[in-house]
Amino acid sequence: MNQMLQDPQADITQADTVQTHPPGSAPQPETGATEPVPSHPRFAKPQRVAFVQSSWHREVVAECRIAFLDAIEARHIARDRVDIFEVPGSFEIPLHAQLLAKTRRYTAIVAAGLVVDGGIYRHEFVADTVIKALMDVQLRTEVPVFSAVLTPQQFHETQPHIEFFRKHFAVKGIEVAEACANTLLSLERLRSQVAAGIV
C-alpha cells in the first residue's frame, strides 16, 4: 500500500481541514487584520522533504501533515518540494524512510503516525521500535529523519478523544516543521564549514 500522494490534500475532507493563512501573516483575534509573523532564515540550497504517514487513524494523522505543510512553507520550503507517502501503519515507516533516504533525493524525511492498540506493552513496543529504527536510518544515511509518531497512554474511539488528538497532531505538525527547518539550516552551515576546512 506504499503510495505517494500526488495531491497532499486530495484525501482530506472538509472536516479534516484547518484554517490557513498566507505565509508571512496571521489574523489578529480582535480585528481580523493581519500582522507580520517572525521571518525565518532562507536556505542557501533548495531543500526537498519526504513526509511519510501511516494510514491508521488517517483523519487524526492528517492534521499533522496539514499543519506541517503550512509551517514548512512559512520556513521557505514550498509545498511542491514536499512529497507525501502513505504506508499502512507506523511499523512500515522506517523501511520506507530508509529507501527514500538512499535515493539522495531528499534532504530530510518526516514520519507521522498514531500507534494505539489494546495492550500497553504492545503499542509502546511498536512505537519504541519505530523511533529507534528511524534514528538508525538517519545515522546510516546522514539524512535527518524527524518523528511525529505518537503513542498516547490512553486512546478511546470516541469523538472527544479523536478531536483531542487531532488538535494535538496539528501542534506536532508545527513543531516537527520547526525542528526540520532548523536542523536543515544547521546542517547546511555545518557542511559548508566542513567543506571550507573551518571545522
Q: How many CA atoms lie within 13 A of 115 on its CB side?
A: 25
Report the candidate in 131, 134, 132 with the shortest Cα–Cα distance to residue 144.
134
Q: Which of 65, 75, 81, 122 is catalytic?
A: 122
User: How many whole angstroms separate alpha carbon 101 and alpha carbon 190?
Assistant: 19
122 is catalytic: yes
Report the candidate in 55, 58, 137 with the shortest Cα–Cα distance to residue 100.
137
C-alpha cell at 65: 501533515
CA angle, 46 then 50 then 55, to 5°:
160
CB 151 within 8 A of CB 124: yes
Report the candidate in 46, 77, 60, 63 with the shortest Cα–Cα distance to residue 179.
77
Residues designated catalytic:
122
